[in-house]
Amino acid sequence: MNTKKQRLSKGNNKQVTEVKKKKQNGTSVKKVKHKKNKQGVKKYRPQKQKAIRQKKKYKKTSRKKRKQRVLIKEILVTSVISILVLSILFILNVQLPNVEGYSMTPTINDQDWLFVSKRSEIRRFSLISFDSPDKDGSMIRRVIGLPGDELYYQNGSLFINGSEIPERFLSTSLSEVSEDPQTVDFTLEEVTKVAYVPEDSYFVLGDNRLYATDSRYFGFIKKKEITGVVKARIFPIHAMRQF
């Protein structure tokens, strides 16, 4: 009986130990599997998140590049159109002549660059650009007499149609240099052989009256010979001004 009990107890002990081993093995396997899963998640998820971030970043950069390309195209197209429009307007309406000589000193000096409008209205005392009578380039002079005017100078003062017209644009510094009046007296008939300025013609003088070559020497300027009205001096930059 004792031997049987011993055998049974041994058998039971074996079964218990086997169950314990199985349990221990099962838990260890589960633990190992769980650890593997944890390690697998740690390795896999960061890579996936990195890939997602890179994809988003690529999308953002590609969007920015597309926007930049569109913006550059718009700027280029706008610039080209603006240049074309300005070129057409410039060709049709504007000149930039270079002044030579001192007939208009001190209003305009030698080597000044001017902005000349081809479409502006010609008025009394306007500065106009026109083809020189000797066909050697262009000249800049001031309009004194308009079509139909009768004019003369007396004691250095301008009289048009019987009324004295002040010439405020003339420099007082020039008159201070010389005791003589800036403009030597004359009548229109004396210098042009006609009493009135003809139709579609203008009588012009230089501001540097004592040394200028103007209508006193070459006569009237016809309207068709006028290339534009001087609106501004654009060079030298420190002497820029409007007229």
Per-chain mean pLDDT for the chain: 80
Evaluate if residue 148 carries a pLDDT over 80.
yes
pLDDT at 141 over 80: yes
**Higher-scoring residue by pLDDT: 137, 112:** 112
Say if strands 151-154 and 157-160 run parallel, antiparallel, or are unpaired: antiparallel
> What integer is the mean pLDDT of 139-151?
97
Residue 27 banded pLDDT, cuts 50, 70, 90: very low
| Angstrom distance (rounded) from CA 118 to CA 140 | 14
Answer with the residue of higher pLDDT: 139 or 28. Answer: 139
Q: Which of 109, 243, 105, 101 is nearest to 177 (CA)?
A: 105
Per-residue pLDDT at 19 exceeds 80: no
Burial class (CB in 10 A: 0-12, 13-18, 19+), 127: buried
pLDDT tens column, 181-225:
889 999 999 999 999 999 999 999 999 999 999 999 999 999 999
The pLDDT score that the predictor gives to residue 165 is 97
232 against 67, higher pLDDT = 232
Angle at 53 between CA 50 and CA 56, to 5 degrees: 150
DSSP labels, the chain: -HHHHHHHHHHHHHHHHHHHHHHHHHHHHHHHHHHHHHHHHHHHHHHHHHHHHHHHHHHHHHHHHHHHHHHHHHHHHHHHHHHHHHHHHHHHHEE--B--SSTTTTTS-TT-EEEEESSSPP-TT-EEEEE-TTSSSEEEEEEEE-TT--EEEETTEEEETTEEE--TTS-HHHHHH-SS-SS--EEHHHHHS-SSPPTTEEEEE-SSTTT--SHHHH--EEGGGEEEEEEEEEESGGG-EE-
Q: Is the pTM of this model over 0.85?
A: no
Closest CA to 147 of 228, 202, 221, 224: 202
pLDDT confidence of residue 133:
87
The pLDDT value recorded for residue 63 is 75
Residue with tokens 């070459």: 218
Which has more confidence, 78 or 192? 192
215 closest CA partner among 192, 232, 196, 199: 192
Q: Which residue has the higher pLDDT, 139 or 82?
A: 139
Overall size of the chain counted in residues: 243
Task: Give the residue with greater pLDDT, 52 vs 141.
Answer: 141
* pLDDT, position 54: 67
List beta partners, residue 160: 151, 163
- Residue-level pLDDT at 236: 92
Structure tokens at 66: 């597309």
Percent of the chain clearing pLDDT 90 (strictly above):
45
User: Any idea which of 74-83, 112-121, 207-216 has the lowest mean pLDDT?
Assistant: 74-83
Is the dihedral angle over the CA atoms 223, 120, 207, 160 positive or is it negative? Answer: positive
Please report the pLDDT score of residue 8 as a whole number.
46
Binning pLDDT at 50, 70 and 90, where does residue 41 land?
very low
